Structure 1
Amino acid sequence: MTMFERFSADARAVVVDAQTAARRRGAPSIDTVHLLLALAEQPGTRAVRALTDLGIAPSAVERLAEPSAGGDVLDDQALAAIGIDLATVRARTDAAFGDGALDRVADRPRRGHVPFTHDAKRTLELALREAIHEGSRSIDSGHVLLALLRADGTSARRVLDSALRDAGTDAGALRDALHDPRRTAS
């Protein structure tokens, strides 16, 4: 049995919806933050129940994952530090291609295959390990969230840490909530 054959319906939905999240943001690949965004939008799953019980709403995850929170947007100060004047670039681009040309390119959804980043692949492997550790025959949303908690230094972990801090809790409490036997059914 392959790893993906072990994914429950909700975990499969996370993987499929992560691709949609990456496309919607114009990302060149599916990263851990896309897995987290997709996971937070799966109502009634073990992962979402654990998050909401700790005071973390899906909308909070979405807000914290916005490019401005993660530093993925064009930053005029950062570009100026390397000698690029963003206002001039925008003005010249608008003159050549029409008003808002840079924004239109960023808003265009990506087509075709969107690959997983190394961190996202590693997270899915960690989800399998979490399922095996729990003695589960399938990988559910809770295992994916536990894997995201183990993925130190990733975009999803930074968003999770911010969401947990904002809710006045921590990763240990989320792990405990996910291991709560009342949540094992997803």
Structure 2
Amino acid sequence: MFERFSHEARTVVVLAQEEARTTREPNIGTHHLLIGLAGPGDDTASRALRAVGLDAATVRRHHTMSAGRALDGSALAGLGIDLETVRRAAEERFGAGALDAPPGRRRLQGHIPLSFGAKQSLELALRSAVALQSSEISTGHLLLGIIDEGRDRGAGLLRDCGIDLTSLRAGVVALLTPRAA
């Protein structure tokens, strides 16, 4: 299936793997794919997600908070600790996202497998590409796969961010559908 992926879609999968590696998660989930899709590019998914106010940092922040790994800045401030100062110092010393990674797990090396939900999303992306008569699977199709799968963390994060999945889906399909001349 990966041979049908556009260059941008392949890049998203690589970014998702790096995100899983950085957060020390054993599988690439739909939330990792969503973070990759929400990057700064000019592809279909990035444009659609920016149109609804999402970027990778926002999705990452919502995932961290929903996973229960967020540090409570106001509680720390009550103790005289500035969370942003601590975060900057930790990231300077240990790398980006140092405070976001679960403790006790080593950084994963090598291949990281896809979660069941991510596999389902990729299958649905392929189906979307076929249904829209596309010769390749683009980032827009990957986003449709996450939306259509609907139960995994990626779709949950979209809902947590206040995104109406039906409207987002319609917007992505409109971007992917060639205009009649």
State the TM-score, normalized to the length of structure 2.
Answer: 0.74
Can you list the C-alpha shifts for 1:67-111, whole angstroms capped at 9, x where unaligned? x312468xxxxxxxxxxxxxxxxxxxxxxxxxxxx96534x4211
Q: Secondary structure at the match of 1:105?
A: coil
Paired residue for 1:80?
none
Match of 2:137 among 139, 143, 148: 139
Letter in 1 for 2:174: D
Match of 1:120 among 118, 121, 145: 118
CA contact (8 A) 1:70 1:155 kept: no
Letter in 1 for 2:166: G
CA contact (8 A) 2:24 2:102 kept: no
Measured after TM superposition, the shift of residue 182 of structure 1 is: 7.6
Paired residue for 2:25?
27
Q: Secondary structure at the match of 2:60?
A: helix
Number of positions where the alignment pairs a residue of Structure 1 with one of Structure 2: 148
Higher helix share: 1
Do structure 1's residue 175 and structure 2's residue 169 form an aligned pair? yes
* Structure 1: distance between partners of 2:39 and 2:175: 22
Can you list the C-alpha shifts for 1:122-175, whole angstroms capped at 9, x where unaligned? 111111001001000000000000110011220111101112x1xxx5112111
Structure-2 change in CA distance of 1:183 and 1:49 (3 Å): farther
Measured after TM superposition, the shift of residue 56 of structure 1 is: 2.2
Gaps of 5+ in 1: 74-101
CA contact (8 A) 2:44 2:139 kept: yes
Match of 1:59 among 57, 65, 68: 57
* Structure 1: distance between partners of 2:176 and 2:149: 25
Letter in 2 for 1:176: A
CA RMSD in angstroms comes to: 2.2
Q: Secondary structure at the match of 1:20?
A: helix
Structural mapping, 1:31-46, within 5 Å? 31-46=29-44
State the TM-score, normalized to the length of structure 1.
Answer: 0.72
Do structure 1's residue 5 and structure 2's residue 36 form an aligned pair? no
* Structure 1: distance between partners of 2:53 and 2:138: 21
Gaps of 5+ in 2: 71-100
Letter in 2 for 1:112: G
Do structure 1's residue 148 and structure 2's residue 146 form an aligned pair? yes
* Structure 2: distance between partners of 1:47 and 1:180: 12
Q: Secondary structure at the match of 1:55?
A: coil
Do structure 1's residue 70 and structure 2's residue 67 form an aligned pair? yes
- Structure 1 ranges of 4+ moved more than 6 A: none
